[in-house]
Amino acid sequence: MSVILWTVLAVSLVLLAVFLVARLSRGVLPALDLPPGESLPTTRMQRLAFRALCLGVPLIAAAGGIVAWFGPTVYYDDDSVRLPVTFLLIAGMMVLAAPTLLAGAWVGRDGVLDERDRAILSRAPAGQAAAILIVLAVWIIGLQESYRGQPGIPRVFLYLIFWSCVEVSLLASNIGILIGYRRA
């Protein structure tokens, strides 16, 4: 099976794992009883994490799409492909890291984050380690199977493994923040 399909499988497994963990660990809470026409107000942290995902996911998807379209070898050898992809990955990383970085700056300031925000932020990274492990496992298995019998695995995959771990880790953190607000 091609490495691209393995990558898609990895991302799907990570998302499925995050979803299952969220569903299984959700406590039984009373249903929200709000006046007609009223919805639960969102917090600054929620809006930030949501916007980060809305901006970051397309950037990462675009980078992945370019690598998938041209192939890992062309990505590695051709600067006209590698530089834009690297730019997209760095931009995606910065966008997705923004909520965590801003939260760190806000923690010490009164009135920005309340106790519930802090509790949710402290739990948000819970899925990051699992997400990274799943991505690494799928990469390793996929590359082993794809290059079985060959003398080596192209070095380009070192970059791709690194970037996929970084981006999935940040995705999991932001998704963890949003899930935390839904169930807390």
Partner 1 sequence: MPKATIRNHLRTLRFEAGEMTQQGLADRVGCTRQTIVLLEQGRYVPSLVLALRIARTFGRTVEEVFELVEDR
- Does position 107 interact with partner 1 (CB under 8 A)? The reply is no
Judged by CB under 8 A, the number of residues near partner 1 is 19
For residues 166 and 56, the answer to whether their CB atoms sit within 8 Å is: no
**Measured from the CB atom, is 133 or 182 closer to partner 1?**
182
**Measured from the CB atom, is 79 or 110 closer to partner 1?**
110
CB within 8 A of 99, min separation 6: which ones? 45, 48, 49, 52, 173, 174, 177
Buried-state track 109-129, b at ≥16 Cβ within 10 A, e below 16: eeeebeeebeebbebbebbbe
- Does position 108 interact with partner 1 (CB under 8 A)? The reply is no
Shortest distance in whole angstroms from residue 46 CB to partner 1: 8
Shortest distance in whole angstroms from residue 94 CB to partner 1: 26
Shortest distance in whole angstroms from residue 33 CB to partner 1: 6
Candidate list 2, 42, 122, 144; residue touching partner 1; CB under 8 A: 42
Asked whether the CA dihedral 35, 38, 40, 45 is positive or negative, the reply is: negative
- Does position 26 interact with partner 1 (CB under 8 A)? The reply is no
The number of angstroms, rounded, from the C-alpha of 25 to the middle of its chain's C-alpha atoms is 20
CA–CA dist 105, 98 (Å, integer): 11
Alpha helices in the chain (DSSP H): 3-25, 44-70, 72-77, 79-106, 115-123, 128-146, 156-183
What track of x and - describes contact with partner 1 for positions 144 through 173 (by CB under 8 A)? ------------------------------
Candidate list 24, 32, 80, 152; residue touching partner 1; CB under 8 A: 32
CA–CA dist 145, 166 (Å, integer): 23
For residue 86, what are the CA distances in angstroms to 35, 77, 118, 139?
48, 13, 33, 19
Candidate list 5, 20, 116, 158; residue touching partner 1; CB under 8 A: 116
Shortest distance in whole angstroms from residue 25 CB to partner 1: 16
Shortest distance in whole angstroms from residue 160 CB to partner 1: 39
Residues that bind partner 1 (CB under 8 A): 29-30, 32-34, 40-44, 46, 110-111, 114-117, 181, 184
